[in-house]
Structure 1
């Protein structure tokens, strides 16, 4: 209470209470001074000046209301004009008037503070409440009196996590995330098995009822009643599993954020270094050791982290460009999965380009034939989850984010096709940093003008930390069936709404530190039988030329920052068409060419010797 009294008197005597919360101050000012008449704020200003001609002195007085804001410059000019003052007096008048107003405001603040103290002394109950409130505001205002309060959702957790993930605690946090990942996978697997058993049992029941319909066992009404009962049972079981999943994810999120908070507190207490002998560190390590006895989850060591770093790739010279083939992907050719697994084989070529007329900006462009969702899905192989997570989380809170453009339908509520598959990928692991994917969609729908319905070219953004290689997903609204039609090849132009949507996405990319963006260059994720080679080449040429113009505009938006653009084509594209696109890309963009300076020096010296 002594500290609170000291805080109150310090705030009241110095007038600092007004600086903390003007609305709070104004409210108490009206309460405390409601019985004060207007003359209480009036002050008399007296000024004497002399005329240089006759050396006579003149004095005038002015009544000022200190509680009202005063424009000193205007007031001094009006006074000088009214009293016919010489021009050389106006500067001194302005200075004297300014000093008078400031000093009287300080006196008024002191008088108000003394009246508050008197009223607090007259009402001790009210004073105790105000003392508690002021003490709390005092602790929030001065860093020296602020206690460590853990974290909240307004940036403190991101700061703590960023410091921990770039320290020795990275390995234990990665292992804890993988442990949570396997727990969620078990819940999802149990749900699928439970739903499969229920579906098989219901099929047998329905088959038996249909075989004995119109008999003494079953009537048509009984079959309809059985169908309703099975539908209700399915919905009830699915609802129970959703509740179990939501509870599991919420508990993991709370536990993980609590561990991060406690580890950060121990690191601060240990002079900014991770305390490997701390209570929280050893407690988490024991949990992981117990989990490793029943599974293959082990703490990632620095040696293992180095072994899981992506390979640099093998450079293959090909004309004026370099084709990059990832060795690890070539080795996994036999591991192609029908659902677009991460280890599916792909074609890839890489280019370095320069854009700009005077100030040139260097960018990296990759042409890749792969499923678009491979940048979101984690590998199913043991140990790959941690390696993929390591690359993603190190750049999570940085100025080098990774983005992905996902073509979506016009309704945010519809869940079908690729959108449904993406939603399932987001639910494969817990989101520790941002709201869950479905919660983000709900928030976007509440803020949208058309109640979750978008036009072609509109897009919305979702944030993720639990995907394989992506932090931000731009959901671009587009009629994919119309874009894949053969007629679209003749009607598609640079003014198309989807093309303009790409421009808006690149503008957001340049202003929000997105360093890598994956773009479906054909504006479709799958090819139909009507999409022949001519259609693919024409569509890719149009989109590439438009993107080149947009990227040149980016130099004016962000000052010319080097970025990486990944042009993704569907994986079922033929090799001939892919290499035709790779040959067309240097013609549209200006690629860098290597020069052999050694041979030129040798030839020049030989010519000099000849002469």
Structure 2
């Protein structure tokens, strides 16, 4: 039995006042008032005064008594209602489950009516579909299809380069001929006009090819998504589908999954333990390689095999990261060429990501740089140099992040701004902005499911004359010690556990330097090794 809805009740408000001529004669006023009263007592008083011609000097008294009457009667009404409901609950006369369901229905109706209508986005649906397919027999064909798309883009890039090269060569010959005939059949004005014409032709050619490449990438992205969703529907409809009879085989397998022999490079791996009480195991890989080689995909026969691990971990909690040294201008990132060598099917194109970064950092960077200039000006030194550096939006140690699915190893690239002459010298400390930038990178990696990351060990992209063997050892020791503390700090804050750390030396590093740096690792970290037991003496 469900409780009945308690209706409002009507109470009579009584008010009496004497006449002007005889105080013993009283006028009696009775007004029905609905309890609980939904309106304003003062408004009701004004209506009563106008309707019954009550003297105005009684307004204050009437207001006070009517307000007290409404408050008392409302309190009594609630007390009586609550007592009745409690008695019904004690006697099991209330259907509590029915009341809960009614409230649930009312809540849902209210949410549906007023809440924002938001469902699963297309990006989330596509991510789930891709993650399911790459962990199925369809993985091989998916990688082959993506490889065919990449080859098409590479062919167009090759045609673009050849076309621009031919145009440049023809313009160079034409300009040389004009210059040779200067003061005979050509003038400086004609040469200047020809240079402007050549510049316009170059711009038009570059714009035409960029437009064609963008159109190709958009078409490939749309076709790839539609094909994947159709493939998922086929796999869900027929569980007996195998790689040999699936509709995926409409794409010929002309890219055999055979790895080409890797190029020889210096590399060594260590297993280390960090922590005093609760020890954590990590892998450190020391390798002499250019950071761009870890990002660039070799679009050859072995590409599909090399893309297996990045594809499997793309939508997972075991992402791979990479630290790339960048300039203060994000649009001049060295990663642009590698990321645009194939179509980005899962995230925004690298150009769009970098432009978005430029827009987002402009306002906070300007405020920060203005504050730095003001502080240095108050200090009384180096104000001119500070203003020159403040013209740049980013400073040394700043980091911006891009996401990728078409690179060789990393899914996340941390661009560390290291455009500073102080990094050329070996006299930097653990408080240098670039070192603090590494700290922020490792913290962000652990907070965002990045379990494997590669860093440039010397914070330099290539070896120069001043980078002697002693210089390299000092810099490597400083960075490794700082990274050790940063990994412990980041691991203690929760999040993903950093399992693999790749320390990359420049590819031109000498074997002796590589061996000396490798010898530093057991001295800095606690390296796991076998226990050697001596044989017992007889």
Following the alignment from structure 1 to structure 2, what is the Cα–Cα distance between the partners of residues 95 and 479?
A: 75
CA gap 1:411/1:441 in 2 versus in 1, 3 angstroms: same
1:174 counterpart = 2:143 = yes
Are the equivalent residues in 2 in contact too, given 1:42–1:63 (CA < 8 A)? no
| Superposed CA RMSD | 3.8
Superposition map of 1:60-209 within 5 A: 63=36, 153-209=122-178
Match of 1:513 in 2: 449
SS of 2:493's equivalent?
Answer: helix
Match of 1:463 in 2: 403
Match of 2:374 in 1: none
SS of 1:567's equivalent?
Answer: strand
1:261 counterpart = 2:229 = yes
CA gap 1:250/1:274 in 2 versus in 1, 3 angstroms: farther
Following the alignment from structure 2 to structure 1, what is the Cα–Cα distance between the partners of residues 6 and 394?
A: 60
Match of 2:180 in 1: 211
Aligned equivalent of 1:247, options 207, 210, 215: 215
Residues 20-49 of structure 1, C-alpha deviations (whole Å, 9 max, x = no match): xxxxxxxxxxxxxxxxxxxxx995389xxx
- CA shift, 1:277, in A, is 5.0
SS of 1:365's equivalent?
Answer: strand
Deviates more, 1:436-445 or 1:262-271: 262-271
CA gap 1:236/1:65 in 2 versus in 1, 3 angstroms: same
Match of 2:418 in 1: 478
The answer for unaligned runs of 5 or more in structure 2 is 11-33, 40-70, 367-391
- CA shift, 1:274, in A, is 5.9
Following the alignment from structure 1 to structure 2, what is the Cα–Cα distance between the partners of residues 464 and 95?
A: 63
Following the alignment from structure 1 to structure 2, what is the Cα–Cα distance between the partners of residues 218 and 560?
A: 69
CA gap 1:275/1:569 in 2 versus in 1, 3 angstroms: closer
Residues 401-424 of structure 1, C-alpha deviations (whole Å, 9 max, x = no match): 1100011112223x2xxx34x211
Following the alignment from structure 2 to structure 1, what is the Cα–Cα distance between the partners of residues 35 and 123?
A: 51
- CA shift, 1:154, in A, is 3.0
CA gap 1:537/1:90 in 2 versus in 1, 3 angstroms: farther
CA gap 1:559/1:386 in 2 versus in 1, 3 angstroms: closer
SS of 1:466's equivalent?
Answer: coil
CA gap 1:96/1:477 in 2 versus in 1, 3 angstroms: farther
Following the alignment from structure 1 to structure 2, what is the Cα–Cα distance between the partners of residues 96 and 476?
A: 71
Following the alignment from structure 2 to structure 1, what is the Cα–Cα distance between the partners of residues 101 and 298?
A: 69
Following the alignment from structure 1 to structure 2, what is the Cα–Cα distance between the partners of residues 208 and 458?
A: 49
Following the alignment from structure 2 to structure 1, what is the Cα–Cα distance between the partners of residues 441 and 211?
A: 36
Following the alignment from structure 1 to structure 2, what is the Cα–Cα distance between the partners of residues 383 and 65?
A: 80
Following the alignment from structure 1 to structure 2, what is the Cα–Cα distance between the partners of residues 103 and 430?
A: 57
Aligned equivalent of 2:517, options 571, 576, 581: 581
CA gap 1:65/1:241 in 2 versus in 1, 3 angstroms: same
- CA shift, 1:516, in A, is 0.8
Superposition map of 1:174-573 within 5 A: 174-215=143-184, 217-271=185-239, 277=245, 281=247, 285-286=249-250, 288-289=251-252, 297-298=254-255, 300=256, 304=257, 308=259, 328-329=261-262, 343=263, 345-379=264-298, 382-413=300-331, 415=332, 419-420=333-334, 422-448=335-361, 449-450=364-365, 453-484=393-424, 486=425, 489-490=426-427, 492-558=428-494, 561=497, 563-573=499-509
CA gap 1:106/1:411 in 2 versus in 1, 3 angstroms: same
Are the equivalent residues in 1 in contact too, given 2:137–2:243 (CA < 8 A)? no
SS of 2:142's equivalent?
Answer: helix
- CA shift, 1:528, in A, is 1.4
Residues 268-304 of structure 1, C-alpha deviations (whole Å, 9 max, x = no match): 22249568656xx2xx533x33xx7xxxx34x5xxx4
SS of 2:347's equivalent?
Answer: coil
Match of 2:527 in 1: 591
Following the alignment from structure 1 to structure 2, what is the Cα–Cα distance between the partners of residues 388 and 552?
A: 31
SS of 1:518's equivalent?
Answer: strand
SS of 2:143's equivalent?
Answer: helix
Following the alignment from structure 2 to structure 1, what is the Cα–Cα distance between the partners of residues 305 and 154?
A: 18
Match of 1:50 in 2: none
Are the equivalent residues in 2 in contact too, given 1:369–1:570 (CA < 8 A)? yes
- CA shift, 1:480, in A, is 4.2
- CA shift, 1:347, in A, is 1.0
Are the equivalent residues in 2 in contact too, given 1:267–1:275 (CA < 8 A)? no
Pick 1 or 2: higher relative contact order, CA cutoff 8 A, min separation 6: 2
The answer for unaligned runs of 5 or more in structure 1 is 1-40, 47-60, 67-77, 114-132, 142-150, 311-327, 330-342
- CA shift, 1:379, in A, is 2.2
Are the equivalent residues in 2 in contact too, given 1:44–1:62 (CA < 8 A)? yes
**TM-score w.r.t. structure 1 length?**
0.65
Following the alignment from structure 2 to structure 1, what is the Cα–Cα distance between the partners of residues 86 and 356?
A: 55
SS of 1:550's equivalent?
Answer: helix
CA gap 1:562/1:377 in 2 versus in 1, 3 angstroms: closer
Residues 371-417 of structure 1, C-alpha deviations (whole Å, 9 max, x = no match): 1111011225x32111111121111111111100011112223x2xx
SS of 1:406's equivalent?
Answer: strand
SS of 1:594's equivalent?
Answer: coil
Are the equivalent residues in 2 in contact too, given 1:43–1:65 (CA < 8 A)? no
Are the equivalent residues in 1 in contact too, given 2:319–2:452 (CA < 8 A)? yes
Are the equivalent residues in 2 in contact too, given 1:354–1:362 (CA < 8 A)? yes
Residues 147-206 of structure 1, C-alpha deviations (whole Å, 9 max, x = no match): xxxx95431101101111111211221111111111111100100110111011001100
- CA shift, 1:446, in A, is 2.4
Following the alignment from structure 1 to structure 2, what is the Cα–Cα distance between the partners of residues 592 and 399?
A: 26
